[in-house]
Amino acid sequence: MKIIIVGDGKVGFALAEHLSQEEHDVTVIDTNDDALRRASEALDVLCVKGNGASLSALREAEAGSADVVIAATSMDEINMVCSLAAKRLGAKYTIARVRNVEYAKELSLLKDSLGIDLVINPENAAAVEISRLLRFPPASNLETFCRGRVELISFRVREEDFLVGKPLSAQSSQIQELPMLFCAVEREGEDVVIPDGSFVPRVGDRLYLIGQPTGLTAFFRLLGRHTPKSRNVFLVGGGRIAYYLAAILDRLGVRVKIVERSEERCRVLSEALPHATILCGDGTDQQLLEEENVAAADAFVALTDRDEDNLIISLYAMQQGIAKVVAKSNRQNYAGIAHAAGLDSVISPKLITAGQILQVVRGMQNSKGSVMNALYKIADGHAEAMEFVANETTRYQGVPLKELKLKKGILIAVLVHNGRIIIPDGSAVISAGDTVIIVSRSHGILDINDIYDDALLDLGGVQ
Amino acid sequence: MNFRLVFRVTGKTLMVLSMTMLLPLLVCLIYRENPVPFLLAIAITGGVGLLLSLIRSDDHFFPREGFFAVALIWLLVGACGALPFYFCGQFASYIDCFFEAVSGFTTTGSSILTEVESLPHGILFWRSFMHFLGGMGVLVLTIALMPSLGGRTLHLMKAESPGPIVSKLVPKASQSSKILYGIYCGMTIVEIFVLCLVGMPWFDSVVNSFAIAGTGGFAIKNISIAAYGSPAIEIACTVFMLLFSVNFSVYFLILCGKIRQALRSDELKFFLIVVAASTVLISFNIYSMVGTAGDSVRHAAFQVASIISTTGFASTDFNLWPEFSKTILVLLMFIGACAGSTGGAIKCSRVLLLLRAIRREIRQIIHPRSVNVVKLDGRVVDEKDLRSTMIFFAAYMFITLAAILLVSVDNFSFGTTFTAVVTCIGNVGPGLEMVGPMGNFSAFSGFSKIVLSMCMILGRLEIIPVLVLFSGTAWKKS
């Protein structure tokens, strides 16, 4: 598909990277020479210099014949004008990043007349994701499927866990009976694997579990790691994510403290968030954190603009014995360093946004097949978890899973049949109307039909 | 340096090269000539290529790997392309074969052969087919045929494509190279038919079309295009030489229906002005020698087109022309064709950028506080691109001077030595005096032939990649 990305910043670059890897024709528009040079050197994309909201630049990039135009500059207004201009030129689908809190509330009115098909707000998405983690602290990451009825979480295996050293098939029957499934494993220095019964967990592995929330809670109870919801949250950095997060937490009745350096910003926050405690000061200053008794909080979230600061103060918070620590980091290589230091929950707004947009683009590529409801990039982007709804185009309906030959690195993790959540065994079947959750190590799955390895199936004679 | 990856890419390119040798093999079989030289060459090239391409490597491609691989590949392609010549037994030594093959792939067209008409058809075809392959680039072909080379093939294309600013036509590199090859092949086929129509024999028109398309200039007659003695053929050749020295993105824009944007190109205007001015000046200068106005314009235009496109064909022995005309031709050898074409030398767009940078410098001295930008096609040229253009020009000149010094050891006249180096580094073909259009390079020593071969590769790859290959730091692992 022909995709134009306006704005070659962090999100724009990440999108260009993911989309060009999926063999789309990507054109990037930006005014900054250096940013364009970096993109043209590192990626197989076409670069156009110019203002993305101007018709001349959009015409040069041939926006009229584009399938998707993504406006991701740092200015919301430019993104809106860009979508409008692209739509007028004939672009089929426009996506605009709108981050401003005031616009975000009112945009539903303007969306249609501005020609925007989808509004993305990476900060809000990140805040939603963090709020989920705070509701379920044992998980390092948490994604939801089927409107929250199925959750995918990850956690790191510790020395004292009884999982260590025993194959999954030999774990106690209590574990086996829980409505959940081990669906992926990340191990230091190795590729992501989809474990089978013979997989032996080791200390330091990052396990991905999928299942019903009740099952996951029960699992962590058995593991002795269950901690209640965070009731008292400490935020460092008062940017947009902090605002969205505080607003969500406030509705849930959670006490929030925000430390922000800029006094002006503090005033804005205190006006918008009457229930939160806003502190003006340097969040990286240990003395200030001690004064505010950070150790008494049961969750700590580092959200300053500097990834480095976030990691360091998160490590400090962990040292203080805070049960749940979350850091924001847009740099992927920092996530690896953070994991090595024991900081498990690292949120990347960039990666969340990329996942959202990939989901839209793949859905457009596959307009006739099964509908993709959700797509999450897990394991630092090395694997994907997807939710599909099977329909009449889905092949091999009614064939038991054990007789299906799937491509390598693909797992059918959960089936939802008539509203009932099933962790499938070999005898389960897919039928039209079912929700199917798939975990895949390969990228570019567009449809349920893409998971079948047809060459193998024909040999087996199953049709 | 990721040597495994470099070797794997090299292996794949050699495999593609061995496949291209199937075509001259076919010509051999049609004319019932000895196919053994080509069979041996295919076996050796393909075998080495297969072995190298089996090396396992990751796909971490960075600019230095790209530059390194391109330079290495061009050296090896020259060495392998020389094999059919070596095995056919009509060449004095392997160095001669290497010179001939490098001259072929770099689309120079300088020959060490004193007598070409007696060569077998297969060898003649291979000589010109090398021009055709080298014109667009061996690696561009490999990328078009084997997109599996890994994600970041752009570095390879960048290192091989001529011109100061390399831009793609469409978002994907492999798609871009397919479009370029499509335009290239389409124009070549049209040319073959046109040359046939104006009375050239079939085989000659195919082979000469390859030579013109790649702006190479290996002739299959001892006295080049003059041998046909036909004004119509000369005019057709002039037109096509000029067409192939225009930036191919102009044709892409025309194909997309953006004719106005295509004709707005500053470089194209500059190129046409230089061609027209040189033709007029030479016509007046040689009028008394040639006799008629029509003939003098025709010969002047042919020679100007031949030299500025860096093809190097001749419709007459311009070595006998007056000094003024000869000097114009030598200056054209420096300027060369447009960027993004199959031609060589410094390239019109660079000359234009340098002239504009000089104008800016003068303006800056007159108005010290003024802020000026250099523009090309109405767009501001980035200072980094401008800097690399200047560095390219300086390197080009230094290497030319150094090569002149090295070749002067052979003790030929200054005119011969100077124009031999200029014509080789500019990928033109003929020079003046002993290496003039009716002469050849056979009298040079083996050492000079290697120096001149290096000049050709330096000129074709626009210097920097080859310097990367010979810089000590590039060889270090870290």
> Which pLDDT tens digit goes with each residue over B381-430?
888 888 989 999 999 999 999 999 999 999 999 999 999 999 999 999 89
> Do both A52 and A108 map to the same domain?
yes
Mean pLDDT of chain A: 86
Expressed as residue numbers, the domain containing A45 is 2-120
Q: Which CATH number characterizes residue A329's domain?
A: 3.40.50.720
Mean pLDDT of chain B: 88
Q: Predicted confidence band at A264 (pLDDT cuts at 50, 70, 90)?
A: very high
> Do both A251 and A338 map to the same domain?
yes
CB of A20 within 8 Å of a chain B CB? The answer is yes
Q: Let me know if residue A6 belongs to a domain.
A: yes
> Do both A105 and A149 map to the same domain?
no
What is the C-alpha separation between A406 and A403, in angstroms, rounded? 9
CB of B151 within 8 Å of a chain A CB? The answer is yes
> Do both A330 and A242 map to the same domain?
yes
Q: Let me know if residue A130 belongs to a domain.
A: no
Domain count within chain A: 4
Length of chain A: 463
Max distance between CA atoms of chain B, in angstroms, equals: 74
Q: Let me know if residue A126 belongs to a domain.
A: no
Q: Strand A118-120 and strand A93-97: pairing?
A: parallel
**Predicted local confidence at residue B148, as pLDDT:** 57
Contact B175 A25 (CB under 8 A): yes
**Predicted local confidence at residue B149, as pLDDT:** 56
> Do both A324 and A286 map to the same domain?
yes
ipTM: 0.72
Q: Let me know if residue A129 belongs to a domain.
A: no
A32 to chain B: nearest residue by CA? Answer: B382
pLDDT digits (tens, 9 = 90+) for A338-381: 877 888 888 888 888 888 888 888 888 876 777 788 888 887 77
pLDDT digits (tens, 9 = 90+) for B356-375: 999 999 999 999 888 888 88
Q: Strand A299-302 and strand A324-328: pairing?
A: parallel
pLDDT digits (tens, 9 = 90+) for A201-223: 888 888 899 988 888 888 888 88
* Structure-token pair, residue A113: 């007349």
> Do both A407 and A421 map to the same domain?
yes
CB of B178 within 8 Å of a chain A CB? The answer is no
Least confident stretch, A236-245, A416-425, B91-100, B265-274: A416-425
A33 to chain B: nearest residue by CA? Answer: B382
Q: Which residues contact B98 (CB under 8 A, 6 or more apart)?
A: B78, B79, B82, B449, B450, B453
In 3-state terms, chain B is what percent helix, strand and coil (to 5)? 70, 0, 30
Average pLDDT of the segment spanning A401-413: 85
Q: Give A49's contacts in chain B (Cβ within 8 Å).
A: 379
* Structure-token pair, residue B109: 């067209």
CB of A51 within 8 Å of a chain B CB? The answer is no
Q: Let me know if residue A99 belongs to a domain.
A: yes
What is the C-alpha separation between B191 and B207, in angstroms, rounded? 11
**Predicted local confidence at residue A179, as pLDDT:** 85
**Predicted local confidence at residue B84, as pLDDT:** 93
> Do both A239 and A339 map to the same domain?
yes
Contact A42 B155 (CB under 8 A): no
Angle, CA of A31, A37 and A41, to the nearest 5°: 145
* The last residue of a domain, from among A223, A256, A287: A223
> Do both A241 and A212 map to the same domain?
no
**Predicted local confidence at residue B153, as pLDDT:** 62
* The last residue of a domain, from among A120, A146, A168: A120
Tell which of B65, B149, B154, B175 to mutate to test the A interface (max A CBs under 10 Å). Answer: B154
> Do both A91 and A152 map to the same domain?
no
A168 close to A195: Cβ distance less than 8 angstroms: yes
Q: Is the pLDDT of residue B151 over 60?
A: no
Contact B171 A42 (CB under 8 A): no
* Structure-token pair, residue A75: 């200015």
Higher pLDDT, B155 or B376: B376
pTM: 0.80
Q: Let me know if residue A447 belongs to a domain.
A: yes
**Predicted local confidence at residue A340, as pLDDT:** 78
Q: pLDDT > 90: what percent of chain A?
A: 20
Q: Let me know if residue A131 belongs to a domain.
A: no
Q: Which CATH number characterizes residue A144's domain?
A: 3.30.70.1450
> Do both A18 and A97 map to the same domain?
yes
Q: Let me know if residue A128 belongs to a domain.
A: no
> Do both A372 and A453 map to the same domain?
yes
Q: What are phi and psi of A431, to 5 degrees?
A: -130, 160
* The last residue of a domain, from among A193, A223, A253: A223
**Predicted local confidence at residue B128, as pLDDT:** 92
Given A25, A41, A49, which is nearest B171 (Cβ)?
A25
> Do both A283 and A332 map to the same domain?
yes
Contact A46 B170 (CB under 8 A): yes
**Predicted local confidence at residue A461, as pLDDT:** 39
